[in-house]
Amino acid sequence: MASVKNPNTIPGEHPDNVFENRSNIVSVECPNCGGQVQRKENDYFGVCPYCGTEIAFDEIREEAQLTGYRERIDKLELDSSIDSANKQTLLKWLRIRNICFIALAICTFLGFAFAGCPAAEEQEFYVGVGAILMLIAGVILIGAIPYISSNYPEYNILRGKIEKGAKLKMYVTLMLTAIGVCLVATFLAYLAVSALE
């Protein structure tokens, strides 16, 4: 009795594995000679058995490119969310810094204006108010400015990385700016008091 070969068998395979392995094999037409090239599910390349042409399976390559694009989009979305969170932190920090500088300028100006007020009556009251306002300005200068600079976000939004030494640089910048604000406010208070005399 002659043995009948199963048409679904792949050469070199045992007939019992035919149905489980057959689902993983796909036939692709060779672009060179038109012959059928069989490939397994995870193969990226195949060789035509008739003409020897190496074939790249495009759908898998496209799938890999699509996966790469998805990963890149996910990374960009993550970077964007990190940047937006850091921008919000920086905006909050800038708001606090600006309020601190405005309070420093107002306290310095009014402190020197009240202390130098030429009114003869109630002179002690004006000097006392001026001293209290200058004390508040000193507390802002000595206490608030270092606190604000210690909370400076080290993440540089423009460069997209954390900068070392950013807090120290910001402390020096804030102190110099605060001293400048105090000097300008003092000079303006002097001009205002001189105009009243």
Domain ranges across the chain: 15-64, 88-196
Task: Quote the pLDDT of residue 14.
Answer: 45
Question: 62-100: string of b/e by CB count within 10 Å (b at 16+)?
Answer: eeeeeeeeeeeeeeeeeeeeeeeebeeeeeebeeebeeb
Confidence of residue 155 (pLDDT cuts 50, 70, 90): low
Q: Which of 33, 40, 75, 70 is nearest to 57 (CA)?
A: 40
Q: How do residues 82-122 score in pLDDT, each as one tens digit?
A: 778 778 888 888 898 889 999 999 999 988 888 877 766 77
Task: Quote the pLDDT of residue 2.
Answer: 40
Least confident of 7-21, 131-145, 146-160: 7-21
User: Which is more confident, 40 or 149?
Assistant: 149
User: In this model, does residue 133 exceed pLDDT 50?
Assistant: yes
